A = this chain, B = another copy of it.
Amino acid sequence: MTSAKPRKIQKVLVANRGEIALRIMRTCREMGLRTVAVYSDADRQALHVRAAYQAVRLGPAPSAESYLHGDLVIAAAKQTGADAIHPGFGFLSENADFVRQVREAGLTFIGPAPEAMEAMGDKIEARRRMIAAGVPVVPGTADPVENPEQLLAEAREIGFPVMIKASAGGGGKGIRIVRTEPELADAAKRASSEAQTAFGNGAVYLEKYLEEPRHIEIQVFGDEHGNVVHLAERECSIQRRHQKVIEERPSPLLDDDLRERMGAAAVKAAKSIDYTGAGTLEFLVDKHRDFYMLEMNTRLQVEHPITELTCGLDLVRWQVLVAQGEPLPLQQAEIQHEGHAIEARLYAEDADHGFLPATGQVDRLELPGGPGVRVDTGLFEGMQVGLHYDPMLAKVSVHAADREQAIERMRRALSEVTITGVTTNLPFLQRVLNTDVFRSGRYDTGSVEGNPEAFAPQMSAAREKNVAMIAAALAHVLRRRRGFPDRPASVASSAWVDAFRPGANS
């Protein structure tokens, strides 16, 4: 580990978009740092552009021509005099070559060293290192599987069910679960093709598929002075299509002993690669409460707000301090957590029809507020939700004294969300919070897909159906009425009454 001189950052270019770009700029601004936004043509009106001190256009909407284009990002930093780049998550955040280019350009990269990133970026390489460091990992192949024969042989050795996973990337892309031999070849082809599209690397490997596993991760932080601490766990087992939907902290599964042991393993893993900055060790915990490290995300995590809510710290502020070469502000024993936090991710997708992504223009938007509610979003009225980027629209997080109060607070917060014009998973989120499986805390990564009926829309409540019928009838008549310019829409209830006079529009 190096003991670099503190480098005071003055201006930060945020190489990202949406809620996470805004999130990072918020802290930068609070620290007195100027910010530079970059944007594609799809994002000219975006909140992250408006929140920034300066903004530079990168290119057309497709990521490859804008947010993934490292050269353009570095050029924008040079042009605006930014002295540091924060990559957020996704896009260039785990691209070691980009980090090297940033450093060669004389800029500070707010994130880990490229060597640490490479050590953890390739999942196969990461497995090898973790085994060497004595951190438990899931049984699986140590190398990319190259041909169908090898695939079958390895799968037989590990034993079905197995998972096929992309060596590069994350976010649930390029993953397939295979339960029987005949499915194996086609699943591998699809996973490889998806990985190729998403990450430019089609290599895949095999892993034992654990039954009833919980996905629990540990937040770690390292500095250039050799300090590494953990900020406890986040429980991320509520997933659909391998994508996290609802996270909470503390995990209903963990007790202090298991938390301590997982935290120690995470710190050991991070120390073994001289890790600096914010990172997350993802673990699977099986029904015997044995834990296995899955992978390390060498960046800020989507669900970091629930950690911030319970420990009262600003993780982006810590990232900036570490990038400046400063020591971590707190020792392990000084980090305390209070209460219970939950995050729900609002996606542009139709949860009632296979979680397919949805597009559209945001027509009406209202977001929740009041005590214990935090909203992170790039949403605004009039925003176009298109095909080019991740469908996550907003993160609603709550903090309360205990788990039960946090669940009730989240239900209350979600009830205050209004969004029309784009189909979202809001109804699905509300249903999850009402299920016995979630409320009991006894769920695993297969709970959503394994209990489709528990998470499906409940159409049975007669009263609610009546409301829908009444609303449909009224909306239908009001809509027809809009066709007549001499009968303008009005906010007054009395005007609607006129719309239903005998013979009108019938």
Residue numbers of A with Cβ under 8 A of B are 22-23, 26-27, 29-32, 44-45, 51, 305, 308, 312, 314, 338-339, 366-367, 369-377, 380-382, 400-401, 405, 408-409, 411-412, 415-416, 491, 493
Contact = CB atoms under 8 A, between A and B. Distances in A.
A51 B416 contact: yes
Contact of A312 (B32, B314, B339): B339
14 contacts: A23-B370, A26-B371, A27-B371, A30-B400, A30-B408, A51-B415, A305-B371, A308-B371, A312-B401, A314-B371, A314-B372, A369-B374, A369-B376, A371-B374
Contacts of A338: 312
Contacts of A415: 29, 51
Given A45-B491, A312-B339, A380-B366, A30 B373 contact: no
Contacts of A339: 312
How many copies of the polypeptide does the oligomer hold? 2
A82 B501 CA distance: 35
Given A29-B415, A45-B491, A412-B30, A367 B367 contact: yes
Nearest to A304: B371
Contacts of A400: 30
Query: Do most interface residues of chain A lie in helix, strand or loop, or is the interface mixed?
Result: mixed
A238 to B, nearest CB: 21
A313 to B, nearest CB: 8
A467 B457 CA distance: 51
A31 B493 CA distance: 32
B380 A369 contact: no
Contact of A412 (B29, B366, B370, B376): B29
Given A27-B371, A381-B381, A382-B491, 8 more contacts: A22-B370, A26-B371, A29-B412, A308-B371, A312-B339, A312-B401, A370-B376, A373-B374
